[in-house]
Amino acid sequence: MTDKKIIFPVDLAGSSYRIVSRVRSLVEQSNAELHLAHVVETFSGYDTFFIPHRSLDLMESENVALAERDLEEFAEKYFSDFPRVKRIVLSGKPAEQIQKYIVSEGIDRMILAAYDRPFFQRALLLDPAERIAKASPVPVTIINPFMVENLPVASETAASATAHHASQA
């Protein structure tokens, strides 16, 4: 892999945690700079309801502050040993904001957890991960978080292949 900058959109509530080992492996293989991103959806569609704008603004700013804290904790817990990690919390529609960030930062690849919702929910509403992947201007590696335990990490695959070839000789 020749990727120099990889973005990992983190949902902070679901499947992102399940694929951390794979993300670590892919980032280590490419010796890339890792960008951890989380998007806080805004309440822009709700401003026509009878909710004072000040309340909406306050909720949004509180959500951003909580997301920044949670993303920092996520980064410290799973990527504190990585030399180059950037954390960013964006506001707006996830697919649009991630796409803009990819372009502005010169990101080479995205790693994304998919299938966070049951099939029935995905059939009714387009999965956010799917929206983000479809909007991406760069290659996307999608990892099924429910299959991670069954897949060897790249270094394990290389080690077992080497051991297999050595036993054949």
CATH number of domain containing 10: 3.40.50.620
Query: Residue 134 has what pLDDT?
Result: 86
Number of separate helices (H) and strands (E) present in the chain: 6, 5
Q: Which structure tokens are listed for 130?
A: 């799917």
What pLDDT sits at residue 84? Answer: 95
Range of 80's domain?
A: 5-168
Look at residue 60 in the predicted model and tell me its pLDDT.
80
Report pLDDT for 43.
Answer: 60
- Looking at residue 41, what is its pLDDT? 83
Q: How many domains does the chain contain in total?
A: 1
| Burial tier of 167 (Cβ tally within 10 Å: 0-12, 13-18, 19+) | exposed
Query: Given this model, what pLDDT does residue 14 score?
Result: 75
CA 145, CA 22: separation in Å to the nearest integer?
Answer: 10
DSSP state for residue 147 in the 8-state scheme: T
**pLDDT tens track, the chain, 169 positions:** 577 999 999 988 778 888 999 999 999 999 999 999 999 987 665 555 555 555 667 778 898 899 999 999 999 999 999 999 999 999 998 899 999 999 999 999 999 987 655 555 555 555 677 888 888 999 999 998 877 654 444 444 333 333 333 333 4
pLDDT at 88: 96
Secondary structure (DSSP) of 70-92: HHHHHHHHHHTT-S-EEEEEEES
Tally the residues of the chain: 169
Q: What pTM was estimated for this model as a whole?
A: 0.75
Specify the 3-state DSSP secondary structure of 143: strand
